[in-house]
Amino acid sequence: MELFSEIYGIYYDIVTKILQKQCITAYEINEMAQKYGFEESALQMIPKLLDGKSWRFLEKKQGKYVSKLQKSPSMPLTTLEKQFLKAVIEEKRCRLFLEEEEQKRLKQLLKDVPPLFREDMFDMFDQYQDGDDFENKNYQQIFRSIHRAMRSRHIVIIKYLGGHRSEKRMLHKGMFLPLKWEYSQKDDKFRIYCIKVEQSGKANPMVLNMGRIVWAKQTEKIWNKPVDMEKIVYGRKVKTPIVIKITSERNAIERFLIEFSTYEKESEYDEQTGVCTVRMWYVKNDETEVLIKLLGFGPVLKVMSPPFFVKQIKQRIDKQMQWIAKQKTSLYPYQIREEKNSMQCYDVFTEGENKSHGEME
């Protein structure tokens, strides 16, 4: 069978869904066509389904339509789909979402199918090496326990390590309602958007790093109150956006827009100067990650505001220079020069040239 066949198209899918209903009205058929199809799908399909001559799948009985098929139609998986599924269930992160019995059953069903790809085929060159230990049995057990509670809206008692420095982290304990997973490809870590339930009944939104959770137990309590997911997940977004100017050098604008594709932003491109001005909002918890990403663009990018963000960039550069100075090495041939309200990095080997290696306000 060819890779892209019409039997896997939308029209076949809609007709399959209709025929899987034991008894259906003309109104329900029209609703399904509009829900799963295109705007013109109802006009093209419904007359052929209901006239009893074009597509002889349905017969009318007592004002409703009944399928003539003896068995409910189903769509078998293609070899390519099976290979993709085999590759997915062998991926270490995917296995976290499956119970052990589910994994065994899927592996048995796909035992003779080679995976479409393997993890060792990919080299994640821009990923930190201290990601979560997905193979750890305790990590897997905690993850699945929290995931089950997330689906059933149960409250979970969680013990986790808090604090920014590993040597100063303290063990904390609390009751949480897990709401949503977030995975950082750069950090190779999972985070949980959740609500911390206080004994007073007050609920505070929080974000927990899955790797810092050392114990979790689901309680019998179920959260029945409505939850504003939009506010919890995106409500921690900063009010003041970062203002950034990006040059067209080294295809920087396209690279920037791809790198920050998931962030809310407003862009304005000046055709005369070839500079793109971007106003970008981010979640407060992602501030350090955003800062590191921006520094990685080097001289093709300039951060204009806000002042507190620019201050963090200066501090990070100063800290790096101090560390290099302690190493007594010449691997960092730059000098920092303050000019008015901006800060630029100049190559000390290009005396007489105003060549910037990184310009940030």
CATH of the domain at 230: 2.30.30
Nearest CA-CA partner of 294 in 250, 332, 249, 255:
255
**128 part of a folded domain:** no
pLDDT at residue 3 in the model: 60
Buried b (16+ CB within 10 A) or exposed e, 125-137: eeeeeebbebeee
Q: In this structure, are strands 301-305 and 242-247 parallel, antiparallel, or unpaired? A: antiparallel
**127 part of a folded domain:** no
Question: What is the mean pLDDT, run by run of 10 residues, along the chain of 361 residues?
Answer: 69 87 86 83 81 83 85 84 91 89 91 91 80 92 94 93 69 91 87 86 84 93 81 72 87 86 85 88 80 83 87 83 71 46 41 38 36
pLDDT at residue 4 in the model: 67
| Whether 85 and 57 share a structural domain | no
| Whether 246 and 355 share a structural domain | yes
| Whether 85 and 50 share a structural domain | no
**113 part of a folded domain:** yes
**180 part of a folded domain:** yes
Q: Considering 234, 251, 281, which residue would you say is the last residue of a domain?
A: 234
**340 part of a folded domain:** yes
| Whether 224 and 246 share a structural domain | no
pTM score over 0.85: no
pLDDT at residue 152 in the model: 93
| Whether 352 and 278 share a structural domain | yes
Residue indicated by tokens 């000046």: 270
End-to-end CA separation in angstroms for the chain: 58
| Whether 208 and 266 share a structural domain | no
**100 part of a folded domain:** yes
Cis amide prior to 306 (ω within 30 degrees): yes
**73 part of a folded domain:** no
| Whether 157 and 207 share a structural domain | yes
Q: Considering 208, 234, 260, which residue would you say is the last residue of a domain?
A: 234
Q: Considering 184, 218, 234, which residue would you say is the last residue of a domain?
A: 234
| Whether 83 and 59 share a structural domain | no
| Whether 261 and 327 share a structural domain | yes
Number of domains in the chain: 4
| Whether 248 and 354 share a structural domain | yes
Nearest CA-CA partner of 279 in 245, 317, 230:
245
Nearest CA-CA partner of 64 in 12, 31, 22:
22
**74 part of a folded domain:** no
Q: Which amino acid is at 107?
A: K
| Whether 311 and 248 share a structural domain | yes
| Whether 326 and 262 share a structural domain | yes
Structural domain of residue 110, as residue ranges? 79-121
